[in-house]
Amino acid sequence: MQAFKKSLIISAALLATTAMWANTALQDSSANTTVQQELSYEDQMLTKLFLNHVRDRNYEWALSIWEEISQKDTEELQSAYLKALEGNGQTEGLLTKHQELLQKYPNNRSSRFFMAKHHFARAETQYQREMAKYQQNENATTYAYLRRELSRLSEDYRKSRDILLKLLEEDPGQRAYLLLLRNCYMRLSNEAEVNKINQQLEAME
């Protein structure tokens, strides 16, 4: 019972992690050079300007010129567009857009990371709700119910963990992946992995 209370201390860490997620690097594009050569000069300039704005986190500016780009059906542009939407707080329908992008580009890191965040956030929302209910009436019955609910929602934590482990195989030094993975292991009560990630993070400083 005490272990569940103790786990609440990571709430501050989760908030700090959110800022790191916003800084995750854009996925390298797999668009070929033939397509690039077919772009008009205007589209080339607009595309470059759009991507620069997204990289600089000027999301509102980026979105303001999005409709002016006539040829934008590339992995790099679509990925950057979704990043701009998320960064600008336009999250309605974003999950579906990322799922659609992954159907077309299954290896897209940006969308895979979004899915990892999605699974974690969904589990975390339910976790906080169940903990709040338990703390209002702590007894053996509510504790048993809490354990059952936490066991059920841990599936989303594991889904997030599995996505992140694959992403880290491709980009071992990505701090945002490590921070979220650490939070997954905290919720899954895997202290050994939490300590291992903490050591990795310390080595990066």
pLDDT of the residue at 152: 87
Contact 181/174 with Cβ under 8 angstroms?
no
Packed helices 109-136 and 140-170: angle between N→C axes, nearest 10 degrees: 170
Q: How does 84-110 read in b/e, with b if 16+ C-beta sit within 10 Å?
A: bbbbeeeeeeeeebbeebbeebeebbb
pLDDT of the residue at 56: 96
pLDDT of the residue at 126: 93
Q: Would you state the torsion angle of the CA atoms of residues 99, 181, 185, 89, taken in this order, to the nearest 10 degrees?
A: -60
Instruction: Report, as ranges of residue numbers, the positions in the chain whose pLDDT lies below 70.
Output: 1-37
pLDDT of the residue at 21: 52
